[in-house]
Amino acid sequence: MVTGTDSSLTFTKLTSSPETRARAGLLNTKHGPVPTPCFMPVGTQGTVKAVGPDDLTEVGARMILANTYHLLIRPGPETVHNLGGLHKFMGWEGPILTDSGGFQIFSLNSLRKLSQEGVTFRSHLDGSEIVLTPEKAVAVQEVLGPDIMMALDECTPYPASRAQTAASAELTLKWANRCLKAQSPENSPAMFGIVQGGMYPDLRRESALSLGELDFPGLALGGLAVGEEPELRMEMIETAVEVLDPEKPLYLMGLGTPADLVEGIARGADLFDCVMPTRNARNGQLFTRTGRLVIKNARFKDDDRPVEEGCGCYTCQRFSRGYLRHLFVSKELLAFRLNSIHNLYYYFSLVAEAREALLEGRFKKFYSDFNSLHEGDALLS
């Protein structure tokens, strides 16, 4: 059990796997319980692209992510507040996590200026100058009103020199302290800190140790899935997890492929987010247990089978590969929704199966079954 400004956020480990660090848990939030491990779909602009809240509930979403950077620029936190706060705004009654905006500023803005105080950048919409400080990141997220918010960090690029990485991790630690101080004494969402440290094991470890000492009810690993090899990514996760409090929930930011999720769960992560299921869906790439289908391929033209036999999603229950191919090549809007429904269902089912395996004490078998099915894909895709 952990506490933060929002004392309603609690995390309970229900079980753990004897051979790995994997664990099933329950994260309680103001908007209901979240069984972990949990994959959060990304609602960048206040909507998970191409699907509605009804679809999200139907496919098994429990907690979703929204991007502070995008909502800050449009429609602005005041408008979200005027429209009833983030949950009412999006029509999503379950828990929501907002990121701090840091990742987008570093990945989308080439004209940013970084100082110890904060970061200055230009809106990608109208070029107007915006300053984001740790204090402002907290204030904006408090106005948006998620269940969990994130401290502002500097996402270390890859590759980065040792000196650059060390300086970046140091700044992230300073900002984490400032974020905690900036939290309103009342009605502030629970805040997670973000571990950086790049791809240097000792810097990762140091960042995890120092962030872990602060009064965050949960922690995240940032600066991963930024171009590094999967083996290196997993090494960094292991390095950080070794020194983090196992009683606190752990969020792997921006991960990832199905294999990333399974490997991350095996290493003790509880929360994940990634645009992959929805972005790939919009590009016509559909996940199955045995590989990804590129739905526009001519071989699917007269294929009356569902995307995946036995899949319980609305798309597979009602539509054929041939129809989905037709929608996609015809650029029909329904293609984006149906493909997204399938891919999200795939992700949620995978994580739900991992959880069930953990609760039933057979995670090791689940893990080896997954890896034998995804041979050559497990750490590489």
What's the rounded Cα separation, in Å, for the pair 297 and 310?
22
What's the rounded Cα separation, in Å, for the pair 288 and 308?
6
Among 45, 120, 123, 349, binds a copy of itself (CB under 8 A): 45
Choosing from 6, 260, 270, 273, which is the catalytic residue? Answer: 273
Task: Please state the closest distance from residue 322 (CB atom) to a copy of itself, in A.
Answer: 4
What's the rounded Cα separation, in Å, for the pair 360 and 19?
14
Nearer to a copy of itself, 51 or 195 (CB): 51
Whether the CB-CB separation of 99 and 138 falls below 8 Å is answered with no
Binding track over 303-342 against a copy of itself, x by CB under 8 A: -x---------x---xxx-xx-xxx-xx-xxx-xxx----
204 near a copy of itself, rule: CB under 8 A: no
Six-digit token string for 132: 């984001």
The secondary element (H helix, E strand) that includes residue 13 is strand 10-16
DSSP secondary structure letter of residue 160 = -
> Is 202 among the residues known to form the active site?
no
Positions in 251-310 near a copy of itself (CB under 8 A): 301-302, 304
Nearest one of 201, 242, 197, 250 to 224, comparing CA atoms: 197
Whether the CB-CB separation of 312 and 345 falls below 8 Å is answered with yes
Quote the crossing angle between the two packed helices 134-144 and 162-182, to the nearest 10°: 50
What's the rounded Cα separation, in Å, for the pair 35 and 105?
31
Task: Please state the closest distance from residue 307 (CB atom) to a copy of itself, in A.
Answer: 13
Binding track over 67-86 against a copy of itself, x by CB under 8 A: -------xx--xx--xxx--
Among 35, 37, 41, 46, binds a copy of itself (CB under 8 A): 46
Nearer to a copy of itself, 259 or 338 (CB): 338
> Is 273 among the residues known to form the active site?
yes
Stretch that binds a copy of itself, among 47-55, 143-151, 242-250, 357-365 (CB under 8 A): 47-55
Quote the crossing angle between the two packed helices 333-359 and 258-266, to the nearest 10°: 20
Task: Please state the closest distance from residue 98 (CB atom) to a copy of itself, in A.
Answer: 16
Task: Please state the closest distance from residue 170 (CB atom) to a copy of itself, in A.
Answer: 36
Nearer to a copy of itself, 78 or 247 (CB): 78
Six-digit token string for 53: 């809240």
What's the rounded Cα separation, in Å, for the pair 377 and 371?
8
Choosing from 55, 99, 147, 153, which is the catalytic residue? Answer: 99
Cβ neighbourhood burial of 313 (10 Å; 0-12, 13-18, 19+): buried
Nearer to a copy of itself, 52 or 212 (CB): 52
Positive or negative: CA dihedral 48, 49, 54, 58? negative
Q: If binding means CB under 8 A, how many residues of this protein chain bind a copy of itself?
A: 40
What's the rounded Cα separation, in Å, for the pair 268 and 16?
9
Nearer to a copy of itself, 226 or 341 (CB): 341
Q: Residues interacting with a copy of itself, by CB under 8 A?
A: 45-47, 49-54, 74-75, 78-79, 82-84, 88-91, 301-302, 304, 314, 318-320, 322-323, 325-327, 329-330, 332-334, 336-338
List the catalytic residues: 99, 273
